[in-house]
Structure 1
């Protein structure tokens, strides 16, 4: 049996309340959701912020506001910001966010950063200088190949070994399946990664249970999935977290904090 951690990704960049009334948009809603998810067993939060119109934002000021509110309301919960482009931002914008904010923890898409290798090198260097933990977003073989090359040429510091494996995809929709995990594990076996998995669609919980059993951590939430395994709408993010934690503990796995 395995020890595991849970991160919640409660909103993402694309969905809004038309998709689910309980999807948090404002800082106040994110904070309330974070507190409930922390109580349900999520030790960390994957943070997206929105602009005044509810659109995806990488604004450092908005991040500072959200990080301060979360630190006050849920001091025991680790927070990871996203640098996701979501089709809105380019690598230079993503670099600017990292430079301005210098966050404790950030997720960075290898595929997106590879659009500008020079900016990528600067982004990883800034993160190393600031002490930012970087979690590399890996969508498939080409991302893994790029990350391996960047370790080899020094673009990515050798100590940055956190990654998230993305099973399935949002658009065009590809339903995640537990057997998708095997390809990531075999392709990264030589990289000594501390890895997490997330999964798109109603098989999310089954995929994450497979990841936990294989020695990984789990990221769950409305960014990736709104449905129960039988296709009904989940009540909210906290219910999703609680159901995963319960299923993993029933299978004999042990929840770790942080």
Structure 2
């Protein structure tokens, strides 16, 4: 399974094609799905362009994507930078009126286990975001299961990112949930190649990189998805 990470925390001044509104997210989701992407991961924005976990913002984005591309799984972030107080993140999840198919929870963040539990109680598949070896250990302490593990290599230097990937993957067991491996910035494409080589799920999108494999600027999410598909992402 590969997914498109459409916007993340990106601002429009970083790239003119970053989708921010629900309609823009839906349009990019349709284009990426046409290229074979199996799911989309989005960071919904409020009217001011800020990331938000509020029920109305989540509902608008998820509904727009589902209306534009029925059947395409939609996931959201619950990163602590969106709502620093864990109690606020838990309350937001419990108040959601429209549920995403999945949501990522960064295992190293304060209150991650409680946020994961709230998602699990609502029937939302939990993705455990693992940034470090310590995060792998933190995730093991959760009281609820994860449906997917995200091995997220955040180092810009490709060799460092690949070494981090190897360290985290070595601490996973055959009985663990499915693994999605991805990188960021200059390490995005080398880590994607490694995911393809290992037969792991992966992702691509403007959240992770603004460039194509040859270093040229990516026009949009669809261009990134097209390159990933050509390189073997499935």
1:56 counterpart SS class? coil
Q: C-alpha distance in 2, partners of 1:122/1:141?
A: 20
Aligned pairs (5 A) from 1:56-205: 56-86=51-81, 88-101=83-96, 102-112=99-109, 115-116=110-111, 120-150=112-142, 155=143, 157=144, 159-169=145-155, 174-176=156-158, 177-189=161-173, 192-205=176-189
Q: Decide whether the 8 Å contact of 1:44 with 1:77 is kept in 2.
A: yes
What CA RMSD, in Å, does the superposition of the two structures yield over aligned residues?
Answer: 1.9
1:28 counterpart SS class? helix
Q: Decide whether the 8 Å contact of 2:51 with 2:82 is kept in 1.
A: no
Q: Decide whether the 8 Å contact of 2:53 with 2:82 is kept in 1.
A: no
Q: C-alpha distance in 1, partners of 2:210/2:118?
A: 35
Q: C-alpha distance in 1, partners of 2:67/2:213?
A: 34
1:181 counterpart SS class? helix
Extract unaligned runs of 5+ from structure 1: 250-254
Moved over 6 A (4+): none
Q: C-alpha distance in 1, partners of 2:86/2:30?
A: 32
1:49 counterpart SS class? coil
Q: C-alpha distance in 2, partners of 1:168/1:122?
A: 24
In the TM superposition, residue 231 of structure 1 has moved relative to its aligned partner by: 2.5
Q: Decide whether the 8 Å contact of 2:32 with 2:222 is kept in 1.
A: yes
Structure of higher RCO (CA pairs closer than 8 Å, 6+ residues apart): 1
1:248 counterpart SS class? coil
1:196 counterpart SS class? strand
Aligned pairs (5 A) from 1:35-74: 35-74=30-69
Extract unaligned runs of 5+ from structure 2: none
Q: CA distance change for structure 1 residues 106 and 87 in 2, over 3 Å: closer, same or farther?
A: closer
Q: C-alpha distance in 2, partners of 1:203/1:126?
A: 33
Q: C-alpha distance in 2, partners of 1:61/1:87?
A: 15
